[in-house]
Amino acid sequence: MIQFRRDVGIDYDAFVIGLAARAHPMKDHDNFLRAAASFVADHPNALFLLAGEGTDDDEIIDRGIAEYGLNKAVVRCGRLENTVAFNCALDVACMSSAWGDAFPNVLAEAMACGVPCVTTEVGDAPAIVGDTGIVVPPREPGALVRGWAQLAELGSAGRAALGARARERVAQRYALQRSTQRYIELLDYVQSSARLS
């Protein structure tokens, strides 16, 4: 955590919210940036990290950062090879998608690193996060702000406890062995049903 923050020039005491998503309208970076502008007004130590293909050179992101006055509050990391280091540098992981995400791996990856998440209610996001994070409606920056504020109010110890629960949830539900076993059970069920019909 400390090394990644040092590498990108982040103060140790910054409250860091990260979005790992390629630059694409579906990911709704504008929603994220609108929320960031509102949140930073009440949380001046907040910093927002953007990671993903194209996030370091995208017109919509450029325009949002300029329009919402976020030049000093956003760090654009671009495409990353080491997403573990990125996630471990966060206080909160976020997904702001407007539609289309089926099983967003970014949530499971952040949770596996012990990072609590705020996510929009798209695809399987609510099922992944469960009661270990906050699910909000898409396209509502105010809802993201409230989710972030709720996790900020927990303090570092509270977020660490919630993140530990998130990590446990991912391990129990989505570890490779568990996923393989569930596929085997599904295949057995389909074969049994076919024999009975």
pLDDT at 192 (0 to 100): 80
- For residue 180, pLDDT beyond 80: no
pLDDT at 1 (0 to 100): 63
Instruction: Quote the CA–CA distance of 69 and 72 in Å, as a whole number.
Output: 8
Strand partners, 49: 18, 75
Give CA angle at 152 (150, 158), nearest 5°. 90
The residue extents of the domains of the chain are 2-196
Instruction: Quote the CA–CA distance of 133 and 176 in Å, as a whole number.
Output: 22
pTM of the model: 0.91
- Rounded to the nearest angstrom, the gap between the alpha carbon of residue 53 and the centroid of all alpha carbons in its chain is 15
Mean pLDDT, residues 11-31 taken together: 96
Mean pLDDT, residues 1-12 taken together: 84
Instruction: Quote the CA–CA distance of 68 and 5 in Å, as a whole number.
Output: 24
Per-residue pLDDT of 104-131, as tens digits, reads: 999 999 999 999 999 999 999 999 999 9
Element (H, E) at 3: helix 2-8
Mean pLDDT of the chain: 93
Instruction: Give the pLDDT band (50/70/90) at residue 170.
Output: very high
- For residue 178, pLDDT beyond 70: no
pLDDT at 182 (0 to 100): 66
Mean pLDDT, residues 189-197 taken together: 77
Q: What is the CATH number of domain 2-196?
A: 3.40.50.2000
